[in-house]
């Protein structure tokens, strides 16, 4: 079914450019993306000159994506708990410094294959810490209904640069060498740094103390693990990235070995991929209006698989170009769909970590695919490697027959806002704990099955939002009485746990209250554990608060 009108307020992704803050940052991203793509051409082509291994060529692409798999959750935690503007500026400065070092080493002739991979890895690390804050901040500057257009336009901007950047990069490498391409990339970061410096970012919510890093990482992982829709999206993104990346990672080999071309040939091929991606971004809104998420994803995967198979056997450039157009369109359609689905299926307090974990899944698939298909091309043939990637993309589409993608925008993830901090009669600190919560229900025996169904959902939500040691117990002497019990580490974590409830969670709460047969509504008892130190005897005492 097509998406709702509220989620697709405009069929033209360019309409979001009317927002000044977005327009300024988008313009800066065009300059930065141009530098990134020119650098990518220089790195890929330099590796073909200093190494005769197809696997090493693939690792140049993999070195950009591996950091996302390793550091994404930490980057997402920074995006959720720190000033995103400062995080992004710091990441841009780090990437600039790495690009400068890459330029100097290439200029003086000291570059080696593994040194090239290592410095590319550092640039990828900076990008890993930049991207979650960049993506999460989209929700700070555009309305929720415009988010799909903003994501599509970001993809369009990147791929517009992909359509010209590689050609420019190929010319620069052919005329002045790879060092000049690396130098252009180093300079390109200046535009984004200036744009971020001038942006007036909204201040982070500080109503509660900042979540410690360890707990913040755990809460992000727990939220995603207890959200089946997010797990489904990330699994599909991994499988799609695994197959789709073969076109990009092996394109230098296609240009150099299959077509006998130079850096300009590689730039033209990569530019054609970018043109296809631009078309994909423009048609994204029309596809969302006509088809549901699953059918869009499945069509993109099948089209990408067919294009990759054509590229596997195309003997001349004129057959490669249409294959790359289709591959580029399917790439941007699928990945922008995954991105928007994650953002619109996640509340704001954890969106940076969810985006980071999504990127870890998709880039992890790309990193594995870059190495895998390069190794297959080395050990077998280029055609077999691209053919295997095509089969993987077909499988990525077929998975949806069993686990279809969710529709985004159907859940209201704004805070429920019903929780009020209770008045306590014990003097405790925010870090006091552990806190034990007990809630009793009176359930008619005829409603037990319905009650257990609701409590299964309640367990998922409780654990998702930070509860530990959740249990449901039934009174042996009074079988109508059931008790829900769980722990949270500290009092402030108890407050944080309750403020994370969303409007979408109201339904299960209302169903539970409707099943309760007591004279009064269910009442929570909050207790704090205390350990006895008298005479060295251990024990746990609980005081009702």
Which residues of the chain are modeled with pLDDT < 70? 1-13, 61, 159, 162-163, 166, 201-206, 408-410, 531-545
**d(C-alpha 411, C-alpha 416), whole Å:** 12
User: Measured in Å, how far apart are the chain's first and last C-alpha atoms?
Assistant: 50
- In this structure, the number of other CB atoms found within 10 A of the CB of residue 281 comes to 26
**Sign for the pseudo-dihedral over CA of 266, 267, 268, 271:** positive
Contact 244, 306 (CB under 8 A): no
**Residue-level pLDDT at 537:** 45
**Residue-level pLDDT at 535:** 46
Instruction: For residue 157, give the nearest of 23, 9, 303 by alpha carbon.
Output: 23
The two most distant CA atoms of the chain are separated, in Å, by 87
Per the document, the length of the chain is 545
**Residue-level pLDDT at 88:** 94
**Residue-level pLDDT at 316:** 87
Strand arrangement of the beta sheet that strand 481-488 belongs to: 468-474, 481-488, 435-442, 524-531, 540-544
- In this structure, the number of other CB atoms found within 10 A of the CB of residue 278 comes to 22
Q: How far is CA 164 from the centre of its chain?
A: 26
Residues whose CB falls within 8 Å of the CB of residue 494, separated by 6 or more in sequence, listed in order: 433, 435, 437, 488, 526
Could you give the 3-state DSSP secondary structure of residue 531? strand
Q: How far is CA 503 from the centre of its chain?
A: 23
Contact 251, 272 (CB under 8 A): no
Where do runs of H (alpha helix) occur along 177-292?
Answer: 178-198, 213-225, 228-253, 263-290
**d(C-alpha 213, C-alpha 283), whole Å:** 41
**Residue-level pLDDT at 410:** 65
**d(C-alpha 73, C-alpha 218), whole Å:** 9
**Residue-level pLDDT at 531:** 64
Distances (CA, A) of 320 to 244, 255, 269, 298: 15, 10, 8, 23
212-238 burial, b if ≥16 CB within 10 A, otherwise e?
Answer: eeeebbebbebbbebbebbebbbebbb
Q: How far is CA 337 from the centre of its chain?
A: 11
Taking the whole predicted model, whether its pTM rises above 0.85 is answered as no
485-515 burial, b if ≥16 CB within 10 A, otherwise e?
Answer: bbbbebbbbbbbbbbbbbebbeebbeebeeb
Contact 309, 386 (CB under 8 A): yes
> 99 burial class (0-12, 13-18, 19+ CB within 10 angstroms)?
buried
**Residue-level pLDDT at 7:** 41
Contact 475, 407 (CB under 8 A): no
Angle at 209 between CA 204 and CA 213, to 5 degrees: 85
**Residue-level pLDDT at 540:** 47
pLDDT tens sequence across 234-287: 999 999 999 999 998 888 888 888 888 877 787 788 778 888 888 887 787 788
**d(C-alpha 504, C-alpha 525), whole Å:** 25
**d(C-alpha 215, C-alpha 221), whole Å:** 10
Where do runs of H (alpha helix) occur along 314-350?
Answer: 317-344
**Residue-level pLDDT at 545:** 47
DSSP category for residue 256:
I
**d(C-alpha 369, C-alpha 511), whole Å:** 46
């Amino acid at each position: 079914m097509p998406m709702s009108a509220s989620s697709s307020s405009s069929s033209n992704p360019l309409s979001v450019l009317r927002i000044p803050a977005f327009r300024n940052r988008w313009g800066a991203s065009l300059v930065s993306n141009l530098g990134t793509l020119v650098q990518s051409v220089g790195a890929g082509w330099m590796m073909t000159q200093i190494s005769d291994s197809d696997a090493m060529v693939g690792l140049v692409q993999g070195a950009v994506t591996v950091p996302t798999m390793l550091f994404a959750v930490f980057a997402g935690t920074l995006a959720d708990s720190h000033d995103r503007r400062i995080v992004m500026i710091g990441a841009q400065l780090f990437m600039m410094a790495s690009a400068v070092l890459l330029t100097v080493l290439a200029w003086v002739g000291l570059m080696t294959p593994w040194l090239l991979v290592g410095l590319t890895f550092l640039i990828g690390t900076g990008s890993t810490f930049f991207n979650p804050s960049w993506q999460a901040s989209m929700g700070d500057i555009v309305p929720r209904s415009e988010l799909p257009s903003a994501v599509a336009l970001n993809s369009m901007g990147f791929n517009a640069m992909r359509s010209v950047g590689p050609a420019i990069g190929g010319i620069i490498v052919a005329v002045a060498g790879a060092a000049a391409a690396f130098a252009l990339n180093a300079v390109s970061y200046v535009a984004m740094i200036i744009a971020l410096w001038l942006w007036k970012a909204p201040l982070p919510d500080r109503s509660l103390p900042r979540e410690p890093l360890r707990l913040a990482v755990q809460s992000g992982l727990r939220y995603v693990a207890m959200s089946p829709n997010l797990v489904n999206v990330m699994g599909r993104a991994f499988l799609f990235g695994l197959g789709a990346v073969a076109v990009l990672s092996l394109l230098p080999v296609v240009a150099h070995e299959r077509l006998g071309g130079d850096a300009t040939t590689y730039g033209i091929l990569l530019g054609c991929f970018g043109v296809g991606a631009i078309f994909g971004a423009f048609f994204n809104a029309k596809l969302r209006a006509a088809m549901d998420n699953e059918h869009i994803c499945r069509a993109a995967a099948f089209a990408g698989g067919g294009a990759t198979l054509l590229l596997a056997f195309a003997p001349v450039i004129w057959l490669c170009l249409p294959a790359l157009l289709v591959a580029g369109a399917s790439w941007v359609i699928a990945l922008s769909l995954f991105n928007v689905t994650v953002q619109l299926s996640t509340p704001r307090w954890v969106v940076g970590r969810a985006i980071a974990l999504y990127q870890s899944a998709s880039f992890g698939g790309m990193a594995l695919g870059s190495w895998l298909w390069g190794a297959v091309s080395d050990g077998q043939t280029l055609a077999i490697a691209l053919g295997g990637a095509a089969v993987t993309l077909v499988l990525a589409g077929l998975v949806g027959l069993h686990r279809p993608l969710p529709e985004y925008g159907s859940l209201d993830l704004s805070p429920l806002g019903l929780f009020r901090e209770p008045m306590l009669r014990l003097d405790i600190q925010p870090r006091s704990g552990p806190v034990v919560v007990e809630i009793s229900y009176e359930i008619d025996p005829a409603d037990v099955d319905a009650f257990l169904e609701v409590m299964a959902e309640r367990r998922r939500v409780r654990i998702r939002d930070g509860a530990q040691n959740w249990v449901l117990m039934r009174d042996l002497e009074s079988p109508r009485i059931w008790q829900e019990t769980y722990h949270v580490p500290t009092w402030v974590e108890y407050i944080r746990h309750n403020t994370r409830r969303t409007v979408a969670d109201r339904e299960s709460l209302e169903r539970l209250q409707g099943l309760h047969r007591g004279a009064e509504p269910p009442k929570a008892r909050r207790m704090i554990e205390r350990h006895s130190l008298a005479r060295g005897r251990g024990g746990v005492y609980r005081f009702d608060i």
